[in-house]
Structure 1
Amino acid sequence: MADLTTRAAAKRQQIMDAALAVFLENGYVGASMDQVAALAAVSKQTVYKQFKDKEHLFQSIIDDIGDRVDDPFVELTKDVAETDDVERMIHALAGRFVTTIMDPRVQQIRRLVIGEAARFPDLGRAYWERGFARALVTIADCFARLDERGLLKVEDPQVAANHFAGLLLWIPSNRVMFHGRTDAVSAEELAAFAADGARAFLAAYGTRP
């Protein structure tokens, strides 16, 4: 029985992985259950046995992605409590933030969810809350701790976290979104955007004259 359950779960994941690739390539409207079945190397009947329709399949994929998202900034909270070098800390956080959010796969999924947000508003909101919004809460907590230690001057940590994200992502994320290519920004450019954004943030929120 356990083997059957394991095989069923593996088959379901196989279909979901194939479906994600199809949705990323064709969008929700352009994707078909036939394409999913072909890429997953299963019958269309098998796909419908797991997912009653395309809408249910799409929702299951985005929910699954949200469930597997780990907050990449949690481990930095310990460094915040110990650091005396706020500039190094902010630059390290900026580098981690840009690398994580601008990951090509993350950007592809982000574009897909945004593109279908009007069709699936609850799904879009859930994806936001599980991913980006949760990361902003962690970053805001880091800034609040640095403010308490006198290393930053932050009146509203959540606003500061959003300013931080905007300084880092406005140029590269918009370029990727509007060009429709994840390689629209080079690794060297991303590093420069992270450094420039960190310096701008420190100029606005740092305590040094």
Structure 2
Amino acid sequence: MEDGVIVRIDGVSAPTATDRKRAAIVEAATRRFLRQGYDATRIDQIAADAAASKQTVYNQFGDKEALFRQVVLGATATAEAFAAALPASFDDVPDAAVPDALRALARRYLATTAAPQVLALRRLVVGEATRFPKLAATYHERAPALVMAAFAELFARLGARGVLRVPDPAEAAQHFAFLVVGPAIDRGMLLVDVEAPGPATVRRTADRAVEVFLAGYRR
């Protein structure tokens, strides 16, 4: 296999050496930006961490700002996939099982949102929002706002089924989200060394949040 040549195995494109080097640079840049911030991170540091030359980094991304954009917006893929699948994920859930499904959803949402790297990225984006306002707005659109819209669509569907009483799906989405992750985000935005909540904490916090949510929205 030669650099830049795509090899197909059983009809599937295998990553090239260029793909692997690009991924290594993004991974190294992510670690540096999250640990040091934008200003303190230098291209030569990223290159050394990725076992690449500075010229390779520049050839792949152009400059530090473009690489920073790649790190920030590349991290939205998980939120985008979650949001795309969410509204229809309850379609086959029996009405009686919806509370259990909401608890499972809340646990997953909390565990993901309260992960230290996710909180560190959010702190980074907020910290650089004045310098890169369009980037911050795009991140918000592709991650938090997109997930909130998916919650709203889910609750609209559950309201239409008569499982929940949902006069305002967007408001219901906000209530659900902030009950589940609000305290974790508050801590994570200010406490740099906050640890990820353990399984027992996730279960207790998420289940209690769903209990409060259902008290207001169950028919």
How many Å separate the matches in 2 of 1:88 and 1:45?
Answer: 53
Does residue 206 in structure 1 map to residue 212 in structure 2? no
Quick one: structure 1 residues 31 and 72, their matched pair in 2 at CA, closer, same or farther if it must change by over 3 Å?
same
How many Å separate the matches in 2 of 1:190 and 1:69?
Answer: 19
Give the TM-score taking structure 2 as reference length.
Answer: 0.84
31, 38, 58: which one aligns with 1:28: 38
Structure 2 partner of 1:179: 191
Q: Deviations over 1:168-205 (max 9, x none)?
A: 11111211221112406443222221111111111111
How many Å separate the matches in 2 of 1:186 and 1:164?
Answer: 21
37, 41, 49: which one aligns with 2:47: 37
Q: How many residues align?
A: 207
Question: Partner of 1:137: helix, strand, or coil?
Answer: helix
Whether the aligned pair in 1 keeps the contact of 2:155 and 2:173 (CA below 8 Å) is yes
How many Å separate the matches in 2 of 1:115 and 1:100?
Answer: 21
How many Å separate the matches in 2 of 1:70 and 1:40?
Answer: 27
89-98 or 158-167, larger mean C-alpha shift: 89-98
How many Å separate the matches in 2 of 1:33 and 1:81?
Answer: 49
Q: Write the letter of the residue equivalent to 2:43.
A: M
1:10 Cα deviation after fit: 2.4
15, 20, 28: which one aligns with 1:10: 20
Q: Write the letter of the residue equivalent to 2:101.
A: M
Whether the aligned pair in 2 keeps the contact of 1:102 and 1:173 (CA below 8 Å) is yes
Structure 2 partner of 1:197: 209
149, 166, 171: which one aligns with 1:137: 149
Whether the aligned pair in 2 keeps the contact of 1:175 and 1:184 (CA below 8 Å) is no
How many Å separate the matches in 2 of 1:186 and 1:69?
Answer: 21
Does residue 91 in structure 1 map to residue 73 in structure 2? no
Q: CA RMSD in A?
A: 2.2
1:145 Cα deviation after fit: 1.3
154-163 or 56-65, larger mean C-alpha shift: 56-65
Whether the aligned pair in 2 keeps the contact of 1:154 and 1:205 (CA below 8 Å) is yes
1:36 Cα deviation after fit: 0.6
Quick one: structure 1 residues 116 and 168, their matched pair in 2 at CA, closer, same or farther if it must change by over 3 Å?
same
How many Å separate the matches in 1 of 2:105 and 2:62?
Answer: 43
Whether the aligned pair in 2 keeps the contact of 1:80 and 1:89 (CA below 8 Å) is no
Q: Write the letter of the residue equivalent to 1:127.
A: Y
Quick one: structure 1 residues 89 and 80, their matched pair in 2 at CA, closer, same or farther if it must change by over 3 Å?
farther
Does residue 164 in structure 1 map to residue 176 in structure 2? yes
1:51 Cα deviation after fit: 2.8
Structure 1 residue runs of 5 or longer lacking an equivalent are none
Structure 2 residue runs of 5 or longer lacking an equivalent are 6-15
Question: Partner of 1:191: helix, strand, or coil?
Answer: helix
Does residue 109 in structure 1 map to residue 121 in structure 2? yes
Q: Deviations over 1:53-98 (max 9, x none)?
A: 2112111222322346443252562434532123223222211221
5-14 or 197-206, larger mean C-alpha shift: 5-14
